[in-house]
């Protein structure tokens, strides 16, 4: 199913309207492959002629999170960041503190162990975030 169809279904189920602003934002999300923040998304939309108020962008992002189209990731420089999630497997992040590069990885064993930890504490997980900060291979070479 296409994200847009899923999103329409989500809106209808919740008595919300599918507006042109929401359509535009969804297009922006799909276009921006990879991580983005509210401001970057707003800028990108402006570039393609879709000028929405930034309040609308901020107001709409949670809907996309709730519907599973995107998910919030580690915030950086005080800004909430997002990444597409629709149809993608869960993964975690390595974040280079020197160059800012973000490397995604997935490790099933790691996932399994986390579930075990939750069981041990009778904890029902909803989501988790693992972020490892350090130096990527490039920056690691350059010293310190």
Partner DNA sequence: GATGAGATTGAGAATCACTCGCAAAATGGA
Partner DNA sequence: TCCATTTTGCGAGTGATTCTCAATCTCATC
> Which residues here bind a copy of itself, judged by CB under 8 A?
75, 94, 96-97, 103, 105, 107, 109-110, 113-114, 117-118, 120-137, 140
Query: Minimum CB separation from a copy of itself for residue 105, in Å?
Result: 6
# residues contacting DNA (CB under 7 A)? 27
Report how far apart, in Å, the C-alpha atoms of 90 and of each of 6, 18, 116, 137, 143 are: 18, 27, 17, 23, 32
Q: Based on CB atoms, which residue is closest to a copy of itself, 31 or 132? A: 132
Query: Minimum CB separation from a copy of itself for residue 23, in Å?
Result: 29
Q: Which does 16 bind (CB under 5 to 8 A by kind): DNA, a copy of itself, none?
A: DNA
Question: What secondary structure letter does DSSP report for 84?
Answer: E
SS3 112: helix
Distance, in Å, from the CA atom of 22 to the CA atom of 4, rounded to the nearest integer, reads: 10
Report how far apart, in Å, the C-alpha atoms of 28 and of each of 50, 58, 80, 138 are: 9, 14, 17, 31
Exactly one of 48, 53, 117, 125 binds DNA (CB under 7 A); that residue is: 53
Q: Which does 51 bind (CB under 5 to 8 A by kind): DNA, a copy of itself, none?
A: DNA
CA dihedral 34, 3, 69, 33 (to 10 degrees): 10
Contacts to DNA by CB under 7 A? 11-12, 15-22, 37-39, 51-56, 58-60, 75, 77-80
């Amino acid at each position: 199913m296409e994200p847009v169809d899923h999103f329409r279904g989500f809106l209808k189920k919740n008595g919300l309207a599918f507006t042109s602003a929401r359509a535009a934002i969804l297009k922006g999300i799909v276009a921006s492959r990879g991580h983005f923040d509210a401001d970057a998304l707003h800028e990108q939309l402006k570039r393609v002629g879709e000028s929405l108020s930034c309040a609308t962008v901020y107001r709409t992002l949670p809907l996309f999170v709730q519907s599973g189209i995107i998910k919030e990731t580690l915030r950086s420089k005080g800004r909430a960041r997002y990444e597409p999630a629709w149809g993608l497997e869960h993964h975690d992040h390595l974040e280079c503190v020197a160059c800012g590069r973000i490397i995604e990885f997935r490790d099933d064993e790691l996932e399994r162990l986390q579930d075990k930890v939750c069981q041990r504490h009778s904890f029902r997980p909803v989501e988790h975030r693992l972020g490892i900060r350090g130096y990527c291979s490039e920056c690691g070479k350059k010293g310190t």
